[in-house]
């Protein structure tokens, strides 16, 4: 484990370029603020620049939490945590790791959605790289302006931020938040994490008219010019940071699927909205099946939504069913999609390419409740970003059809959730096996307390990223997501299941991520995709490379 002290002044005494004095206090990767010891204050010319009292990191973390908790709302908390992130990276990650249950919803979903909507208005200090359509022809030069060596990039073009639509350059909050979780949840060195906003404009009229909008004030570049910019970015990233893992995030459907297809065999890349979501949902289904006693191949899964999340989950479920012996055709017929125009069926002529594999030969059905009545699914998965769509009737019908209905309301942020946890349990008389996209408090019904847990991608992507970096894999195929889903499901204990939790407790996330990283790296070695020979002890090798924010 690489402790933060290894990079701190005392650990790098001989580094000639190590910052000193005020420059040290202004460098978030080295700064410890009032946490600098007396010896460090002498050694690095800090005496007098800090108040005399030395605080331990524990005391600092305690002070941060007290301050954050008394703020009036979550957006203020987001701003305060972001500003800590800008001052003292180690302390920020320490606070996130130690209070992940409380802090993750503040630095990522759901608060990050609100922060992105107001990004221009709360913008203080830039974080990450803004590569704009005006940078065509000089993207490598822009990447070289970044002062560190990137091992992992999260890139968005801001066109489909969570369930909130086109937020243009304001979408930068997403890669920033996501990479904080890579560092906090999987111990990826924060210095090697690079958030990138590919700013090609926005079609959001409100933002274009907003005097404080931070992005290019133009409509989105599309077609060949867009593709050329993405291509230049990918080539430049690989040239400047050989082997870098590139995670696509929150691209709209019309780009997300084809960019993934285009690059997945050329570079170590994945789309978390499609593949990370798929793995976390599959893990949740596998956990639910431990309760129902059913097999995966016997499930009928009905999705509300037919976008990246729905088809991504369906694809991985199909692969998992095939792995359990079902023929591909039969496996696909176990997954059904409902989009804004009703059930996705063969006779429809308005279907986008990514839905076609699930356009089954069946009569058209106009609405979700009718689709539930017709198909009698064992599981419903909500990923349409339309709040309240798992109505009382839908939930009651699921409870009528199934002894233990599987109900995943995955849409984010909370306002878009298909139902609340309370609705899911109440309307199924406590029989739903429930997972959510946004956090919900425990629910007590007839004396039994249910603890719903988030089917959050953050269970998956940090470990996948760490495994990919450590093994220096050339690709990140679906096999790795399947392995990650199984590894995650294995972490769910019997006592988790007894209280209705389909995922492990979030505070165990570093342990969970380490196991996922190990299984991803093992897959890279097995498929001969790794860029280095397999170490004798994969888990120990991974552990040794993880960043520890303690000082
Ligand atoms: P997307 O834009 O790719 O897909 C949305 C889909 O919903 C589209 O197919 C659209 O046709 C369909 N839709 C829209 N209105 C509808 C309606 N009234 N009825 C039925 N279908 C309708 O978006 P996505 O990436 O698939 O994400 C969808 C939602 O899932 C978002 O809220 C996102 O935040 C959430 N999500 C959650 C997780 C998670 O919790 N793990 C992961 C990924 C996505």
- Burial of residue 16, with CB atoms counted within 10 A of its CB: 0-12 exposed, 13-18 middle, 19 or more buried: exposed
Helices (H), 99-221: 100-107, 111-117, 119-122, 139-144, 173-186, 205-208
The pLDDT value given to residue 2: 64
pLDDT tens-digit series, residues 461-490 = 999 999 999 999 999 999 999 999 999 999
Nearest protein CA to atom 1 of ligand 1, as residue: 307
The pLDDT value given to residue 123: 87
437 lines ligand 1 (CB under 6 A): yes
Calpha distance 499→448 (Å, rounded): 8
The pLDDT value given to residue 157: 98
**In what helix (H) or strand (E) does residue 484 lie, and over which residues does it extend?**
helix 478-490
410 lines ligand 1 (CB under 6 A): yes
Q: Count how many Cα atoms sit within 13 Å of the Cα of residue 358 in the half-sphere of its side chain.
A: 27
Contact assessment for residue 30 and residue 18, using Cβ atoms and an 8 Å cutoff: yes
Nearest Cα to 424, choosing from 413, 414, 416, 435? 435
Calpha distance 484→490 (Å, rounded): 10
Beta strands in 291-378 (DSSP E): 301-304, 335-339, 342-343
CA 379 / ligand 1 centre spacing (Å): 17
Calpha distance 445→432 (Å, rounded): 12
Nearest protein CA to atom 8 of ligand 1, as residue: 307
Calpha distance 415→458 (Å, rounded): 20
521 lines ligand 1 (CB under 6 A): no
Contact assessment for residue 94 and residue 61, using Cβ atoms and an 8 Å cutoff: yes
Beta strand 433-436 with 342-343 is: unpaired
Residue 382 to residues 256, 289, 311, 367, 425: CA-CA distances in angstroms?
20, 18, 12, 14, 16
Nearest Cα to 188, choosing from 1, 460, 456, 457? 1
Nearest protein CA to atom 17 of ligand 1, as residue: 340
pLDDT tens-digit series, residues 399-428 = 999 999 999 999 988 899 999 999 999 999
Which of 163, 305, 460 has the most ligand 1 atoms within 8 A of CB, as the residue to mutate?
Answer: 305
Three-state SS at 85: helix
277 lines ligand 1 (CB under 6 A): yes
Three-state SS at 177: helix
CA 305 / ligand 1 centre spacing (Å): 5
Calpha distance 432→377 (Å, rounded): 13
The pLDDT value given to residue 10: 40
Helices (H), 204-252: 205-208, 223-240
386 lines ligand 1 (CB under 6 A): yes
CA 377 / ligand 1 centre spacing (Å): 19
Atom of ligand 1 nearest to the CA of 306: 9
Calpha distance 242→480 (Å, rounded): 21
Contact assessment for residue 497 and residue 288, using Cβ atoms and an 8 Å cutoff: no
The pLDDT value given to residue 16: 61
Calpha distance 420→414 (Å, rounded): 9
105 lines ligand 1 (CB under 6 A): no
Atom of ligand 1 nearest to the CA of 305: 7
| Residue 125 CB contacts under 8 Å (≥ 6 apart), including other chains | 83, 86
406 lines ligand 1 (CB under 6 A): no
Which of 109, 162, 307 has the most ligand 1 atoms within 8 A of CB, as the residue to mutate?
Answer: 307
Atom of ligand 1 nearest to the CA of 438: 40
| Domains, the chain, with CATH or none | 9-104 (1.20.1370.30), 129-267 (3.40.50.10380), 275-455 (3.40.50.720), 458-544 (3.40.50.10380)
Residue numbers in the chain where pLDDT is lower than 50? 5, 8-14
The pLDDT value given to residue 12: 42
The pLDDT value given to residue 14: 44
Nearest Cα to 412, choosing from 89, 81, 238, 165? 165
**In what helix (H) or strand (E) does residue 270 lie, and over which residues does it extend?**
strand 269-271
- Catalytic residue positions, numbered: 108, 178
The pLDDT value given to residue 295: 97
Calpha distance 529→532 (Å, rounded): 9
Beta strand 547-548 with 2-3 is: parallel
* Number of Cβ atoms within 10 Å of the Cβ of 528: 7
The pLDDT value given to residue 219: 98
The pLDDT value given to residue 438: 87
Nearest Cα to 422, choosing from 441, 403, 401? 441
CA 420 / ligand 1 centre spacing (Å): 17
Which of 369, 383, 409 has the most ligand 1 atoms within 8 A of CB, as the residue to mutate?
Answer: 383
Calpha distance 362→346 (Å, rounded): 7
């Amino acid at each position: 484990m690489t402790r933060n002290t290894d990079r701190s002044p005392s650990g790098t005494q001989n580094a000639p370029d190590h910052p000193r004095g005020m420059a040290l206090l202004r460098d978030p990767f080295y700064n410890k603020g009032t946490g600098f010891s007396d010896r460090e204050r002498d050694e690095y010319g800090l005496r007098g620049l800090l108040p005399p009292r030395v605080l331990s990191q524990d005391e600092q973390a305690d002070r941060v939490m007290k301050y954050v908790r008394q703020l009036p709302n979550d957006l203020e908390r987001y701003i305060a945590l972001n500003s800590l992130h800008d001052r003292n990276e180690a302390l920020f990650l320490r606070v996130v790791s130690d209070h992940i249950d409380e802090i993750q919803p503040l630095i990522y979903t759901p608060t990050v959605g609100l922060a992105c909507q107001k990004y221009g208005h709360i913008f203080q200090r830039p974080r990450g790289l803004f590569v704009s359509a005006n940078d065509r022809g000089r993207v490598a030069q822009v990447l070289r302006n970044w002062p560190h060596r990137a091992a992992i990039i999260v890139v968005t073009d801001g066109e489909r931020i969570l369930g909130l639509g086109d937020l243009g350059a304001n979408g930068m909050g997403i890669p920033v938040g996501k990479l904080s979780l890579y560092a906090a949840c999987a111990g990826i060195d924060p210095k090697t994490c690079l958030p990138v906003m590919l700013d090609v404009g926005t079609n959001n009229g409100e933002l274009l008219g907003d005097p404080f909008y931070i992005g290019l004030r133009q409509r989105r570049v599309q077609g060949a010019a867009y593709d050329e910019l993405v291509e230049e970015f990918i080539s430049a990233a690989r040239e400047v940071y050989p082997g870098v893992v590139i995670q696509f995030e929150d691209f709209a459907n019309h780009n997300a699927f084809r960019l993934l297809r285009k690059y997945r065999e050329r570079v170590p890349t994945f789309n978390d909205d499609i593949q990370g979501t798929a793995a976390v949902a599959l893990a949740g289904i596998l956990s639910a099946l431990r309760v129902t006693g059913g097999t995966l191949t016997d499930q009928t899964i009905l999705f509300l939504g037919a976008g990246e999340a729905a088809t991504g989950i369906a694809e991985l479920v199909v692969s998992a069913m095939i792995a359990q012996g079902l023929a591909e055709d039969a496996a696909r017929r176990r997954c059904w999609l409902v989009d804004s125009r009703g059930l996705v069926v063969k006779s429809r002529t308005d279907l986008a390419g990514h839905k076609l594999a699930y356009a089954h030969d069946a009569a058209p059905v106009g609405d979700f409740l009718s689709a539930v009545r017709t198909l009698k699914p064992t599981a419903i998965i909500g990923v349409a970003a339309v709040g309240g769509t798992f109505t009382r009737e839908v939930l009651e019908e699921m409870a009528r059809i199934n002894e233990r209905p599987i109900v995943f309301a995955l849409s984010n942020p909370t306002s878009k959730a298909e139902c609340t946890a309370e609705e899911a349990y109440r309307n199924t008389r406590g029989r739903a096996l429930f997972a959510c996209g946004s956090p919900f408090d425990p629910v007590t019904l007839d004396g039994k307390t249910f603890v719903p847990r988030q089917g959050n991608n953050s269970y998956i992507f940090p470990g996948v990223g760490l495994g990919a970096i450590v093994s220096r894999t050339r690709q990140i195929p679906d096999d790795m997501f399947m392995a990650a889903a199984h590894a995650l499901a294995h972490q769910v204990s019997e006592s988790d299941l007894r209280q209705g939790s389909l995922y492990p407790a979030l505070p165990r996330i570093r342990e969970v991520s380490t196991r996922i990283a190990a299984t991803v790296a093992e897959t890279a070695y097995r498929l001969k995709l790794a860029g280095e020979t397999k170490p004798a002890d994969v888990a120990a090798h991974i552990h040794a490379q993880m960043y520890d924010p303690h000082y």
